[in-house]
């Protein structure tokens, strides 16, 4: 087996082309019946139409060689390259056409599309801009289509708005505008534009079916937002679930719905669900400030203070002047510090979200269990006394709305140091067990610690 050098290999690849060229040159010298450039163009066109691409290509090669200034020869050759799927070879030919004839619109559009396919978005945009005559509604719509492909929705919208004004009954422009807004998740603007289309033509099929969809979605979203205003969070969550059923195919609507559900679940103290839905939103959109704030609040409800601090800090990076974030972060830091001290919720074994009834129930059970009279051993009795006082203090703080609210903000109402204005609540038990003897954990009035469990 003879090893072929890469250069030789390249040359061998070109051999068929060289043969074609030599063949064509020879024909030309011979002054055959299709010697003229026009002849080559004619023959090439016929062969192209018949789908004989390789033969068509050789005629267009000949035409280009016969007249290096003939822009049609390059344009036709580019067309064959495109038909053969050789877009890289078509590009220089299209550029040559544009160089020879700058106002050849379709060559520019073809080149723009190729550049777009090759990911050269800036160059493509330059071509599309050149094509667009500012007063021509059709080219505005064409350029808008290109912007949509580029993902430049803002530019597409401004072209379509212009197109809708340039042609008095341009229902298509309104329809396209409405669908672009819809895909961006902007249901209100989408509804406005599709209404404009129906004003021009009430029977417009596309606009009417789109209108019904947007209107239904709009109604559901408005209803959900009203429920949130009324703090009916779990109903709002169900409403947003229907929104996702109404439009399961537009990612932005799904994301918007989940962002609002994350907010409702967090407000509704459905902690685990809130964390899970907010996390889904943040996976798709890591800088979503609302989801970061709501997840931080849910983490606080779940005593995950470090996680809450992380979320508030990320939110602060993306939204520096938000007072809510600043306050949330300070609160989370206080709660973290507090959790490293005494936690009245933990002492009673209840959740932060517990109602007064649950708190009293937990308290009674623990007060019976840890009552010092239940312990004979001196060491154990001492431990029980400490525990019993903690339990009584926890109950006092958590059943008094004002003290509980202070504690939830990260202050300990029983600790003089943490008091911001020194309060008066915390002197109750500071004398230890001796001062405690007259205290009745089960009600009011004098009480001697004798339990009769009949």
The mean pLDDT value for 248-272 works out to 95
Query: Phi and psi dihedrals of 420, rounded to 5?
Result: -85, -20
pLDDT of residue 90: 92
Query: Is the confidence at residue 350, as pLDDT, over 90?
Result: yes
Is there a contact between 223 and 239 (Cβ–Cβ < 8 Å)? yes
Q: What percent of the chain has pLDDT over 90?
A: 54
Q: What percent of the chain has pLDDT over 70?
A: 82
The mean pLDDT value for 108-135 works out to 78
Banded pLDDT at 122 (limits 50, 70, 90): confident
Residues of the chain with CATH 1.10.287.110: 345-409
Q: What is the mean pLDDT of the chain?
A: 83
Banded pLDDT at 11 (limits 50, 70, 90): very low
Residue with tokens 């289309």: 197
Topology of the domain comprising 345-409 = Helix Hairpins (1.10.287)
pLDDT of residue 153: 87
Q: What is the pLDDT of residues 165-192, one digit of tens each?
A: 888 888 999 999 999 999 999 999 999 9
Phi-psi bin for 121: left (phi > 0), alpha (psi -120 to 50), beta? Answer: alpha
Topology of the domain comprising 257-340 = 1.25.40
- The string of DSSP letters for 223-237 reads HHHHHHHTT-HHHHH
Banded pLDDT at 419 (limits 50, 70, 90): low
Length of the chain: 454
Q: What is the pLDDT of residues 221-234, one digit of tens each?
A: 999 999 999 999 99
Residues of the chain with CATH 1.25.40.10: 257-340
pLDDT of residue 210: 96
Number of H helices, E strands in the chain: 22, 0
């Amino acid at each position: 087996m003879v090893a072929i050098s890469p250069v030789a290999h390249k040359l061998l690849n070109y051999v068929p082309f060289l043969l074609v060229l030599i063949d064509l040159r020879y024909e030309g010298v011979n002054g055959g019946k299709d010697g003229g450039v026009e002849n080559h163009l004619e023959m090439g066109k016929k062969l192209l139409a018949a789908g004989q691409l390789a033969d068509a290509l050789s005629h267009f090669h000949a035409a280009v060689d016969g007249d290096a200034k003939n822009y049609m020869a390059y344009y036709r050759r580019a067309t064959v390259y495109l038909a053969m799927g050789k877009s890289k070879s078509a590009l220089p030919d299209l550029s040559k056409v544009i160089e020879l004839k700058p106002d050849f619109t379709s060559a520019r559009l073809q080149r723009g599309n190729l550049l777009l396919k090759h990911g050269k978005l800036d160059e493509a945009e330059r071509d599309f801009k050149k094509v667009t005559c500012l007063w021509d509604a059709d080219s505005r719509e064409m350029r808008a289509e290109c912007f949509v492909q580029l993902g430049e929705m803002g530019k597409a919208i401004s072209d379509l708005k212009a197109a809708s004004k340039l042609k008095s009954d341009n229902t298509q422009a309104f329809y396209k505008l409405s669908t672009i807004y819809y895909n961006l998740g902007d249901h209100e603007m989408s509804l406005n534009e599709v209404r404009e289309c129906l004003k021009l033509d009430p029977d417009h099929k596309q606009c009417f079916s789109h209108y019904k969809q947007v209107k239904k979605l709009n109604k559901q979203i408005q209803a959900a937002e009203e429920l949130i205003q009324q703090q009916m969070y779990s109903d709002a969550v169900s409403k947003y679930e229907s929104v996702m059923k109404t439009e399961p195919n537009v990612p932005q609507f799904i994301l918007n719905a989940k962002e609002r559900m994350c907010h409702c679940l967090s407000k509704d103290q459905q902690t685990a669900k809130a964390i899970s839905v907010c996390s889904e939103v943040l996976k798709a959109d890591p800088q979503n400030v609302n989801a970061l704030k709501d997840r931080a609040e849910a983490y606080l409800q779940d005593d995950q203070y470090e996680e809450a601090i992380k979320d508030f800090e990320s939110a602060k990076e993306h939204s520096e002047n938000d007072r809510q974030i600043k306050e949330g972060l300070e609160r989370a830091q206080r709660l973290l510090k507090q959790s490293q001290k005494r936690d009245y919720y933990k002492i009673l074994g209840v959740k932060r979200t517990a109602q007064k009834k649950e708190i009293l129930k937990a308290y009674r059970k623990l007060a019976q269990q840890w009552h010092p009279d239940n312990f004979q051993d001196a060491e154990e009795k001492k431990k029980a006394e400490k525990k019993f006082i903690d339990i009584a203090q926890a109950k006092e703080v958590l059943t008094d709305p004002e003290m509980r609210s202070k504690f939830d903000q990260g202050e300990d109402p029983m600790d003089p140091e943490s008091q911001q204005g020194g309060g008066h609540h915390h002197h109750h038990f500071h004398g230890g067990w001796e001062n405690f003897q007259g205290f009745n954990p089960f009600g009011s009035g004098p009480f001697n610690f004798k339990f009769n469990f009949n």
